[in-house]
Amino acid sequence: MRLPDAPFASDYVRLVPFDPGVHASQLRDMAERSGERLATWPFYNPPGDWITPWTKTIRQRTEAGTLRPFAVLMPDGRFAGMTAYLNPNTDWRNVEVGMTIYAPEFQGGIVNPACKRLLLANAFNAGAIRVYFHVDERNTRSRRAVLKLGATQEGILRHNRILPDGFLRNTVVFSILAEEWPKVRDRLDARLSDGGRAP
């Protein structure tokens, strides 16, 4: 499994490598407008500056090869959010899709299914046998979104993360297998042709 290099593009979104020097200010603006929508975001820790340490983590993990972050851009160039491949394992041919966050005006529409269509296609075309998702148990919106993709819930990891505010997080694990990808792909294509709405 060798994940391709960005940029990735479709008629709906463009994914480019996330550059903290370029995109951190846009990320900060998006976070400030999102407010409590980020309550379950694992890096969210107001009222202090939580963006600076987060972007430092992005840079460190990217250099270590455990993170492939992308800025999500609209066709007209507007910054819509970010998403990433995490912990790619070439031996096991597994990769996580996560660290996904969108500006409020792009939530619930075509952006998320368009991003997932690109990320999943590239992963499975590269030889992945399993793509998985880790979601905070409290984040019902994201859990519903992952299920809409056609992913299978595998279980819950109890207290597997300590968040910056000290909260002990339970993480719900979902996955899509290579043999399930054609059905998921067709479902995503149908959603995109219908403006992002789930069938």
Whole-prediction pTM: 0.91
pLDDT at 58 over 80: yes
How many residues belong to the chain?
199
pLDDT in tens, 2-22: 898 888 999 999 999 998 878
Strands of the chain, DSSP E: 8-9, 14-17, 67-73, 79-89, 94-102, 130-136, 152-162, 168-177
- C-alpha separations of 59 from 16, 17, 52, 63, 161 in Å: 15, 11, 11, 6, 21
Coil vs helix vs strand at 78: coil
What's the mean pLDDT when you consider all of the chain?
89
Residue % of the chain over a pLDDT of 70: 92
pLDDT (0 to 100) of residue 129: 98
Cα gap 134→157, rounded to integer Å: 9
Enumerate domains of the chain plus CATH numbers: 8-194 (3.40.630.30)
31 compared with 141, residue with greater pLDDT: 141
Query: What's the first-to-final CA gap in the chain, in angstroms?
Result: 31
**Which whole number is the average pLDDT over 143-147?**
93
pLDDT at 124 over 70: yes
Cα gap 68→118, rounded to integer Å: 14
pLDDT in tens, 79-102: 999 999 999 999 999 999 999 989
Query: CA nearest 85: which of 29, 123, 121, 36?
Result: 123
